[in-house]
Structure 1
């Protein structure tokens, strides 16, 4: 009589009590949201995944399924068949949402596989919480998670799905290729650092203190090298052409000033004006010195000498030869 039940007992034994691995108790502040990972056995990859709400499994109600999305937006579910984890999210939490929920996998000929979760929604600070549930890092780098707690007992531990089959918790050590350290020097905060990250370090983790857990998802990206090219513009310095007038004699300061103005490209003086000024100054100077030497015989050394100089107008390129008086 008992033979017909043997296959059923064998199947139940194969399913086992660890067919779904998830958290047991989480706390959230009202107005926030919570995402919870549910790891399942490989045999259930193609099965429908669900979130059920209710204190008892016999009376709970499915609020969202992978084949029936929630219309209200309060609940959502996604299934990563490669990692064999489906994630349920509850949004816009209120104190009245404090209750029990179930991660479940639908089975057609056998009872559904499920795992119970206690959700506590607090109007004040939750008993255990993190600043954000989703963080990212880079291969070879590190990430830091602050696990805040109030009034809970026990040491803070950091847990990961080691090998994807069960939670492995450490106070310090290695999980999924990353080194874990916990700094508890700040009151009511445990600072968890995962260093020497590897791509395989990506996944779900838990802050765990006593019977409370808070899920955190870590995504590790490959380190990319960026080449930065700095262009230094070449400044072209235009060196103005300098025309040097080398007179063969000393001329008056007035003549020198006028010659300088003539040579300047910014001076619009006409060459004829400069010539007239130079001639006038030369005659005036000769007249004055001739008057000073009246009644005296001039020797060859006292004779008036005119030496030619060239004055170039930079604009017109006109060259004028002028005889300038040079006192003996």
Structure 2
């Protein structure tokens, strides 16, 4: 984005907080990768989205766009226009990779951006999770956290459950400390509309979690037998060396 557009935002006080929602601070281990979700308003689904690197909005540098790949492979971006979020992935993290902005490009140049910060450390490995649940069933997520503070399970851009129980979009949520530095979240009676980005936190550090809720595959007894026979016929013996 042009420096001019960023200066306009600073002068007018428009930070884009109502147009983009993302996590605020995520901890990740040195050398690992992280995927960060960025929600946007539906009216921007056909706009270019990009990741901007730097602590200050007026001087950050574009590193990858939905219409321009990063040739180095360090950054990638994908846009889900049905659920209105784009996901940025940052690979091989170092302590120089700390401040970024999720940005939606506006045709008149006044782009919308929202800041997030990475805490890159050699001590812990907290990474975003991609999990699958089935309609009508329960799912349990274990959140590893070494920080003090209140436990939270939140849907990105919506409400949070901060106590031992609550609900998000009509789905019952319970949380408890299952062991030191691990708290467990259970969502009961999953619905298809529960699919989306969530985050868990204990204190300020957040862990993004993408939940995909789908119909449970049905395998008939006949199929199980036939598939087993076919697979057995195709497999040749293997030997350890």
TM-score range, shorter chain: 0.7 to 0.9
Q: 2:148 — aligned with what?
A: 153
SS of the residue 1:167 aligns to: coil
Q: State the partner residue of 1:188.
A: 181
For 2:195 and 2:22, locate their aligned partners in 1 and report how far apart those are by CA, in whole Å.
17
Where does residue 303 of structure 1 map in the other structure? none
Say whether the 8 Å CA contact 2:137–2:189 is kept in structure 1.
Answer: yes
Partner of 1:96: helix, strand, or coil? coil
Of Structure 1 and Structure 2, the greater strand share is in: 2
Paired residue for 1:167?
158
Cα 1:197/1:40, change in 2 over 3 Å: same
Deviations for 1:170-208, whole angstroms, at most 9, x for unmatched residues? 032222343211121411110111221111111110002
Alpha-carbon separation, structure 2, partners of 1:227 and 1:17: 50
Does the 8 Å CA contact 1:177/1:198 hold for their aligned counterparts? no
Relative to the length of structure 2, the TM-score reads 0.81
CA contact (8 A) 2:16 2:113 kept: no
CA RMSD of aligned residues (A): 2.4
Shift of 1:13: 9.8
Whether 2:59 is the aligned partner of 1:66: answer: no
Q: Which runs of 5+ in 2 are unaligned?
A: 1-7, 226-241
Counterpart in the other structure of 2:120? 121
Shift of residue 114, structure 1, vs aligned partner = 0.2
Distance 2:151 2:58 in 1: 35
Q: Contact 1:177/1:197 (CA < 8 Å) preserved in 2?
A: no
Measured in 2, the distance between the counterparts of 1:69 and 1:61 equals 15
What's 2:231 paired with? none
Deviation (angstroms), 1:110: 4.2
- Partner SS for 1:180: strand
Relative distance call for 1:33 and 1:180 in structure 2 (3 A) is: same
Could you tell me how far apart the structure 1 residues matched to 2:16 and 2:69 are? 28
The CA distance in 1 between the partners of 2:20 and 2:51, in whole Å, is 12
Contact 1:95–1:123 (Cα < 8 Å) also in 2: no
- Contact 1:33–1:91 (Cα < 8 Å) also in 2: yes
> Which structure is larger by alpha-carbon Rg, 1 or 2?
1
* TM-score under structure 1 length normalisation: 0.60
Tell me the number of residue pairs that the alignment of Structure 1 and Structure 2 aligns: 213
Q: Is the 8 Å Cα contact of residues 31 and 92 (structure 2) preserved in structure 1?
A: yes
| Aligned match of 2:47 | 47
**Aligned partners of 1:64 and 1:140: how far apart in 2?**
39
Tell me which protein shows more helix as a share of its residues.
Answer: 1
Q: Which residue of the other structure, out of 114, 131, 135, is the alignment partner of 1:135? A: 131
CA distance in 2, matches of 1:120, 1:15: 22
Is 2:55–2:99's contact at 8 Å kept on the other side of the alignment? Answer: yes
Q: Which has the higher contact order (CA 8 A, sep 6+)?
A: 2
* Residues 51, 64 of structure 1: 8 Å contact kept: yes
CA distance in 1, matches of 2:102, 2:72: 19
- State whether residues 15 and 114 of structure 2, in contact with CA within 8 Å, keep that contact through their aligned partners in structure 1: no
Q: How does 1:1-328 map to 2 (within 5 A)?
A: 17-97=17-97, 99-126=98-125, 129=126, 133-150=129-146, 152-161=147-156, 166-170=157-161, 171=163, 172-229=165-222
How far is 1:96 from its partner?
A: 2.9
Per the TM alignment, residue 16 of structure 1 is displaced from its structure 2 partner at its CA by 5.8
